[in-house]
Structure 1
């Protein structure tokens, strides 16, 4: 079982990185926000870069774990794919600061890029497996599975980030109200791309 201190550090790091950005964030500030000594952070992470990569992997793993739970609730590939879209949008809304960090800061250093692509690749693999099964069953007509999976991931990501960035200050009640139209928009785009024109 992971030490509870790591959760404290991750939660504090999200706040500090979100407020200051990766380059300006200081380990002293993260330690203060976590209520631990700076040496405690270095006991678990050798550097700020390693802390960020760990935080990034943790965030994407949470998305993957939730996606797997959503997949179990549905049998048909169509319903599974639409559930993945809904899950991703809900996850980003509920973890807005983490979502911004993942998609803004993950393309910094080469280490971050490699780690981000590898972890996101695990999530994209889930989408691709649903598509392959949908093609096999005749539910989908997808010619380029990896590209389509990336397009769906990107659409669900950008629609939430655009909403978050359009607000000077995030209003939780407002963004909760905006979830259904965001989900419906991306779901319709997905159906237009994988089925015939009657879904458009």
Structure 2
């Protein structure tokens, strides 16, 4: 089976899993959406669970590589962090169905959780590296880099998910590429400045 066929199966699986949920999704339906025989799917994926895990693994790998490429194009930790945020938001926004699936279905089986946690650790580690570099450059204050990286990942994930739901409900006609900068700016503002006025902050 070539990569093109696998991509067809993955694209169909994302739609079916997102529409029907993992539990109700049928391999026959996925095969129909993909335009392949069900046996073709089973040739490479022994079960629906294995297909789902492979799909999530592939998507997370793409996100990770996308972040790494964007960060590599920036100089200095502040710009790298901005690129990481923009890359993550952009990928999820442009792959909204995958984003919803990722954040709603991966908590099911132990196998799914294992794969998901491993991939999340990779993304968090990328952000940690940027935070560590910024600290060494003197542009970021000393912090618990692990916890901060996790918080950045979580905030960006939920922000995008809520925006996707909002758009699906007809709440925003703005083009995706026009909306991304404002979402990234909001995340940056929260990360860099917080929400408490400095005159009211005693920490």
Question: Fold conserved (TM > 0.5)?
Answer: yes
1:133-154 CA-partner distances (Å, limit 9, x unpaired): 1111211114211110011011
Return the offset for 1:29. 0.2
2:108 is aligned with 1:108:
yes
Count of equivalent residues: 194
Contact map agreement 1:164 1:170 (CA 8 A) in 2:
no
- 1:107–1:113 Cα contact (<8 Å) kept: yes
Q: Paired residue for 1:134? A: 134
Q: Using the TM superposition, give the Cα deviation of residue 180 of structure 1 relative to its aligned residue in structure 2, in angstroms.
A: 2.2
Distance 1:72 1:40 in 2: 38
Counterpart of 2:91 in structure 1 is 91
Contact 1:93–1:175 (CA<8 Å) still a contact in 2? no
Separation of aligned partners in 2, 1:170 and 1:50: 35
Task: State the shift of 1:163 in Å.
Answer: 1.2
Q: Unmatched 5+ residue regions in structure 2? A: 199-203
Q: 1:192: which partner in 2?
A: 193
Structure 1: 5+ residue stretches without partners: none
Matches within 5 A, 1:55-74: 55-74=55-74
Q: Using the alignment, how far apart are the partners of 2:172 and 2:95 within structure 1? A: 11
The correspondence of residues 1-200 of structure 1 with structure 2, limited to 5 A, is 3-169=3-169, 174=174, 176=176, 177-192=178-193
Mapped to 2, the partners of 1:93 and 1:170 lie a distance apart of: 16
- How far, CA to CA, are the matches of 2:162 and 2:175 in structure 1? 11
Structure 1 residues 168 and 75: alpha-carbon distance in aligned structure 2, compared to 1, 3 A threshold: closer
Q: RMSD between aligned alpha carbons?
A: 1.9
Give per-residue Cα distances to partners, 1:27-51, cap 9 Å, x unaligned. Answer: 0000011111111101111111111
Q: Judging changes above 3 Å, is the alpha-carbon distance between structure 1 residues 43 and 142 closer, same or farther for their aligned structure 2 residues?
A: farther
2: CA distance between counterparts of 1:178 and 1:95? 14
Q: 1:123 Cα deviation (Å)?
A: 1.1
Distance in 1, Cα, partners of 2:151 & 2:175: 23
Q: CA deviation at 1:173?
A: 5.1
- Give the TM-score of the pair, scaled to structure 2: 0.89
2:174 partner SS: helix
CA contact (8 A) 2:93 2:160 kept: yes
Normalised by the size of structure 1, how large is the TM-score?
0.91
Do 1:131 and 1:142's aligned partners in 2 also have CA atoms closer than 8 Å?
Answer: no
After TM superposition, give the deviation of residue 87 of structure 1 in Å: 0.8
